[in-house]
């Protein structure tokens, strides 16, 4: 049986992205992306549950100490200098860190074009080093919740 609509190609064709041959990245654990300029570090309820367990505190204690609400979304707090509250000479919650942190630097904002990627490479020394990530792998890391990053 042929399910295709007569005469029409139902598959949209898309130009390959500029990073079609993949991108090299390997975290150097320098902490640059955890420190400095103020920002938001989105965290979801599942991540809060897992991170509370990792820290050995209740979800309520975690909420009281470590989060703030911004436009209805939950963000980790930062210290006055902009450092993430979970940063202490390294990430204290690396195993359960938020998706935003796990997917860095493969954010849409950094992947718009090669110039943005190179610009990010000025502060992230992992860009251009180590493992080559394929385009499929990169795009699988981009969840819809990251569309504003
Ligand atoms: S700035 Fe880059 S290399 Fe440094 S900790 Fe963040 S992801 Fe890793």
**pLDDT tens-digit readout, 52-103:** 999 999 999 999 999 999 999 999 999 999 999 999 999 999 999 999 999 9
Q: Is 106 exposed, middle or buried (0-12, 13-18, 19+ CB in 10 A)?
A: buried
Cβ–ligand 1 contact at 104 (below 6 Å): yes
Cβ–ligand 1 contact at 28 (below 6 Å): yes
96-143 per-position pLDDT tens digit: 999 999 999 999 889 999 999 999 999 999 999 999 999 999 988 765
1 has pLDDT over 90: no
Sign of CA dihedral 47, 116, 91, 73: negative
Strand pairing class (73-76; 23-25) = unpaired
Cβ–ligand 1 contact at 121 (below 6 Å): no
Count the Cβ atoms, other than its own, within 10 Å of residue 98: 22
> Which atom, in ligand 1's list, is nearest to the CA of 127?
2
Q: How far apart are CA 46 and CA 57, in angstroms?
A: 15
Q: How far apart are CA 29 and CA 34, in angstroms?
A: 10
pTM of the model: 0.82
Cβ–ligand 1 contact at 30 (below 6 Å): yes
């Amino acid at each position: 049986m042929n399910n295709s609509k007569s005469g029409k190609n139902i598959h949209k064709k898309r130009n390959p992205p500029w990073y079609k041959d993949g991108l090299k990245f390997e975290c150097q654990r320098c902490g640059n992306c955890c420190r400095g300029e103020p920002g938001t570090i989105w965290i979801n309820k599942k991540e809060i549950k897992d991170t509370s367990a990792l820290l050995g505190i209740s979800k309520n204690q975690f909420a009281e100490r470590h989060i703030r609400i911004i436009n209805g979304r939950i963000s980790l707090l930062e210290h006055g200098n902009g450092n993430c509250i979970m940063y202490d000479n390294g990430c204290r919650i690396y195993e359960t860190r938020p998706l935003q942190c796990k997917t860095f630097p493969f954010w849409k904002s950094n992947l718009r074009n090669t110039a943005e990627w190179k610009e990010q490479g000025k502060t992230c020394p992992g860009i251009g080093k180590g493992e080559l990530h394929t385009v499929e792998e990169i795009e699988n890391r981009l969840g819809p919740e990251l569309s504003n990053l």
